[in-house]
Structure 1
Amino acid sequence: MDAVKDLPWRMVFLDLPWAEAVVDTSTPTSAGEVADGVLAEIEDHLGDEPFAVIGNSFGGMIARHVAHERRNRVLGVATLAGVVEPARADRSVPERTVLHTEPAVLLAAGDAREAFEEVSVIQDAAAFEAFEQYVLPGLRGSDAAVMEHIAASYALDVVPEERHPAPFTAPALHLFGRQDDVVGYEDGLRLRDHYPRGSFVILDAAGHNVHLEQSEVTAALVRDWLARIDR
């Protein structure tokens, strides 16, 4: 958000069904239902206005779905550590690696330590501060029951690039962490021929929170993506 706040773009943030602010009492039971709900929310907020879409992790898979289902209106798509292979057992991921740890930061993390350690490759004060600001509130406010329902059917009915096999020709960005042992990067690279205007970037010293652990580079890449759309 901070990377683009000075650019002439209007940002719309959508709460997925497990988020604390959601008031809808219906519970989706699959990723496909979540994706359909996101499409409906976009229609409600934007009507037929063109837009770009960006998503992180599970949201990256949803963003690819949105981009293909509304291709005639989508100006570009970006994913940050996006899910490509839904089944965890089928993902090509590197071994769990921690490159830097500051013990004092972990000791001071309190009850957030386990969640922070679980995915962090860089475990220093800056990484924890970003985690505490941008990730932890969502974790603590999430509805675990809703997440379990969706996790039982985590894949979309059809892979977006297979449902719409024609190349996606709008500017794209697909960013991965070299040490991401949650979704990896190899599966994402298989999509590169589908995105002829796509930047595929693998950042070292970054795991599943690549956008937090390499925030300055991520900011530059997102700004470049939007600049390519503007041109």
Structure 2
Amino acid sequence: MAVQPEAYTVVKGEGLPIVIAHGMGVDHRSLMMLDDAFAEGTQRIYMDLPGYGRTSALPGIGGLPELADWFFDTVDELVGDNKRFALLGNSMGGALVRDTLSREPKRVAGMALIAPVVDPVMSHRRLAKHVVADANPQLTQSLPQDKVIDFVTMGVNQSFDAWRRYQRYILPGTKLCDRDANAKLGQRYWLDGDPEQRMGTYHGPTLIVTGQQDQIVGNEDQKALLPHYPNAVYKIIDPAGHNIHVDNPEAVKSLLAEWSKKLLKS
């Protein structure tokens, strides 16, 4: 069996572990702008997924099924066998944490999803229309196109503050993305089975946050998850695109603060 990569992690706080999974093309830093939202008594474990940041790519075919297996095994290594933990996933990370939850729901204290992938097949998704809330040509026309294209196409907030967040937390990870690993992942972008069908119903604290103008995963497919999560808080942030936490961090932080408090009572 090929040697599996060891996850690079950054750990903040002490208490109930919350394992945090980012999306495609970025690294753990993409979600660290939210760190001050979490309740005291939680330990946030930010990891680089394989092929991103400082974690080596998966060996072999390296698709989403293999990544899901790696993530599940890595969570055990990080928090310890049979110990309780919570999960937070953004975009592709949302698919990974749903998969892990479905395998051992009794160990999971709660789950939060930010703009999560529900159906990995893009053509199956019900997408929103990308509309920029406040265009800022003074900013976008002054930046090199290779740096600004994702900022413009993903987000709807083109303020200087949003750009500073993107520049600090998103751009560094995009520069460390393993393009070959990313391409392999794109060629096998599906899960082995539907997590919710495998799991049935999960009653722990659940948060699902979507963007009104998200043209990558939309905000409709996530509603289909709700019957499986009867205690879920479902929120559409407006205005916000796929990078909800870049466009509207305070709204996301407020929701995460309440969710993390519920974790400590579950």
TM-score by length of 2: 0.82
Aligned mate of 1:190, from 221, 224, 235: 224
1:50 Cα deviation (Å)?
Answer: 0.8
Pair 1:73–1:32, CA change in 2 (3 A): same
**Change in 2 beyond 3 A, CA 1:174/1:140:** same
Give the Cα separation in 1 of the matches to 2:78 and 2:65. 20
Q: Do the aligned partners of residues 133 and 90 (structure 1) sit closer, same or farther apart at CA in structure 2, a change above 3 Å counting?
A: same
The letter for the 1-side match of 2:158 is Q
Is 1:3–1:222's contact at 8 Å kept on the other side of the alignment? no
Specify the alignment match of 1:208 in structure 2: 242
Tell me which amino acid in the other structure corresponds to 1:204: D
> Would you say the 8 A contact 2:114–2:244 is kept in 1?
yes
The SS at the match of 2:46 is: coil
SS at match of 1:182: coil
Which of 69, 76, 79 aligns to 1:46? It is: 79
Q: Hey, which bits of structure 1, 4+ residues long, moved more than 3 A? A: none
Residues 21-46 of structure 1 show CA distances to partners (whole Å, capped at 9, x for unaligned) of 01366245221110110111111111
Q: Which residue of 2 aligns with 1:125?
A: 160
Match of 1:227 in 2: 261
The percent of aligned pairs where both chains have the same amino acid is 29
Separation in 2, partners of 1:198, 1:123: 31
- CA shift in 2, pair 1:190/1:102, >3 Å: same
Q: Tell me what 1:65 maps to.
A: 99
Offset at residue 116 of structure 1 (A): 1.1
Aligned length, in residue pairs: 230
Correspondence 1:32 to 2:74: no
The correspondence of residues 1-231 of structure 1 with structure 2, limited to 5 A, is: 1-4=34-37, 7-23=40-56, 26-47=59-80, 48-110=82-144, 111-165=146-200, 167-231=201-265
Match of 2:48, SS?
coil
Shift of 1:3: 2.7
Gaps of 5+ in 2: 1-33
Deviation readout 1:78-136 (Å, 9 max, x if unpaired): 11000001111110012222121111221333231112112111111111111111111
**RMSD over equivalenced CA pairs, Å:** 1.5
Equivalent residue letter for 1:183: V
Q: Please tell me whether the aligned partners of residues 214 and 242 of structure 2 are also in contact (alpha carbons under 8 angstroms).
A: yes
Asked whether the 8 Å contact 1:28–1:34 carries over to 2, the reply is: no
Call closer, same or farther: CA 1:211–1:27 in 2, change over 3 Å. Answer: farther
In the aligned structure 2, how far is the partner of 1:12 from the partner of 1:57? 17
Q: TM-score, normalised by structure 1?
A: 0.94
Task: Quote the Cα distance in structure 2 between the aligned partners of 1:24 and 1:113.
Answer: 26
Amino acid at match of 1:150: L
Asked if the contact 2:105/2:199 (under 8 Å) is kept, the reply is no
